[in-house]
Amino acid sequence: MSENDLKNAADKLNDELEIERVNFSSGDGEAPGQEIAAEVQNVTDAVESAAGEAVSAAQNVSEDVSEAGSSAFNETAGGPVISEDMVDSSRFFRTAGNGTEQKDAAQDEEFAKQPEKVSSKKQKGKKNVGKEILSWILTFVIAFLVAIIINAYFFRISKVSGGSMLQTFTDGQTVFISRAPYIFSEPKYGDVVVFDHDQVHRNIFVEIKESVQYNIITMSITKKNFSHKYWIKRVIGVPGDTIEIKLDGVYRNGVRIAEDYVNPAEIPNYSRNLGVWKVGEGQLFVMGDNRNHSSDSRVIGLITINSVLGKVLGQ
């Protein structure tokens, strides 16, 4: 019987005794009623005492059952519960209940590693971007150097400015220049060459500098005309030759040169530039095909072979 059942039985018995007490006390005789009332009180006291003992016993039984259940659970779980540490107790019950503490710990460790993984991915991403940028820069530099080498030694495009080479080349005509023919040899008679009027010694560093300064893009931005920088002329004398200008024509080593390339529209007038020039080592004597309208070696003197950018192709 539970504690509540015992209490309900005691209350019911007490109510019945109260009813009987009322009935007895309402009688005509005083003495019998007092005796009966005293007897009833004794019975009531005895019942209440018994009910109290029963309730106390029930509480003891309940505590014993609870303690026994807790002890049985502890034995099943494999150890006592640490009541002072609720966190440890909770982890213990999780372990005792379904054995998932190791999984939770692994998940906690995995979550803790997530920021490190994200940070590592970001760092790898930054490194990859840096490598990509460096690769593009390196590619650009290599391409630029290759373009400079091609432009300086193999192939470049230019335009004729002026009429000093009429009728061979006209003003504004596009020409193609290559230094390749002069890599293993030197200019020869009749070659049309483009040279640096300033007689700058040509090397890779000069080529790089001038490729940046004197290209179509730079010229279109700066609006500057560099037509005076490079001149186009024909080779008349090479190292070791003696060039003489006479009224009737040009003589090389004492022999008059047959020049079918000279502008046929005008008869050359050499009276203003009579003279003799000895071509030294590493030098050239050059003249324009339009002799009456050309500033060439008759005016500027001999040019250096090293100042030649290249030979004009497709004459």
Supply the range of the domain harboring residue 111: 102-153
- Are 161 and 121 contained in the same domain? no
CA–CA gap between residue 121 and residue 1 (Å, rounded): 69
Q: Do 186 and 306 lie in a common domain?
A: yes
* Count of structural domains within the chain: 3
Q: What is the pLDDT of residue 23?
A: 44
297 C-beta neighbours (distance < 10 Å), count: 24
Task: Please give the Cα distance from 40 to 243 (Å, whole number).
Answer: 166
What's the pLDDT tens digit per position in 81-135?
A: 434 334 444 443 344 445 555 555 566 566 565 666 666 666 767 778 888 899 9
Do 9 and 41 reside in the same domain of the chain?
A: yes
Q: Using CA of residue 45, residue 50, residue 51, residue 56, what is the dihedral sign? A: positive
Same domain, 300 and 163: yes
Last residue of a domain, one of 58, 81, 98: 98
Q: pLDDT digits over 3-55, tens only?
A: 566 556 556 655 654 544 444 344 444 444 455 455 546 645 655 565 566 55
pLDDT attached to residue 154: 86
Give the pLDDT confidence score for residue 155 in this predicted structure: 86
Q: Average pLDDT, stretch 233-242?
A: 98
Q: Determine the Cα–Cα distance for residues 108 and 260; give it in Å rounded to an integer.
A: 95
Same domain, 147 and 197: no
Boundary-marking domain end, from 98, 115, 144? 98
Using alpha carbons only, give the angle 51, 56, 60 rounded to the nearest 5 degrees.
Answer: 145
How many Cα atoms within 13 Å fall on the side-chain side of residue 181?
Answer: 17
pTM summary value: 0.56
Q: Which helix (H) or strand (E) holds 306?
A: none
Mean pLDDT of the chain: 75
User: Which pLDDT belongs to residue 282?
Assistant: 96
Same domain, 165 and 263: yes
Specify whether 295 is located in the same domain as 174.
Answer: yes
- Residues 239, 259, single domain; the answer is yes
* Structure-model confidence comparison of residues 61 and 203, the more confident one: 203
51 lies in the same domain as 194: no
CATH number of the structural domain spanning residue 259: 2.10.109.10
pLDDT value at position 79?
A: 43
Task: Label residue 145 by pLDDT band (50, 70, 90).
Answer: confident
pLDDT digits (tens, 9 = 90+) for 153-190: 788 888 898 999 998 999 989 999 998 999 899 999 99
Give yes or no: residues 209 and 221 share one domain: yes
Q: Which of 98, 113, 142 corresponds to the end of one domain? A: 98
Say yes or no: 254 and 112 in one domain. Answer: no
Q: Comparing 73-82, 156-165, 200-209, which segment has the lowest mean pLDDT?
A: 73-82
Nearest to residue 196, comparing CAs of 219, 181, 179, 184?
Answer: 179
Report how far Cα 268 is from the mean position of its chain's Cα atoms.
Answer: 66
How many angstroms separate the first and last alpha carbons of the chain? 129
The closest alpha carbon to 284, from 268, 300, 262, 260, belongs to: 300
Give residues with Cβ within 8 angstroms of 272, minimum separation 6: none
Pick 15 or 223 by higher pLDDT: 223
Phi, psi of 38 (to 5 degrees): -65, -40
Q: Which of 275, 289, 283 is nearest to 302 (CA)?
A: 283
Q: Is residue 252 located within the same domain as residue 308?
A: yes
Q: What is the pLDDT of residue 64?
A: 53
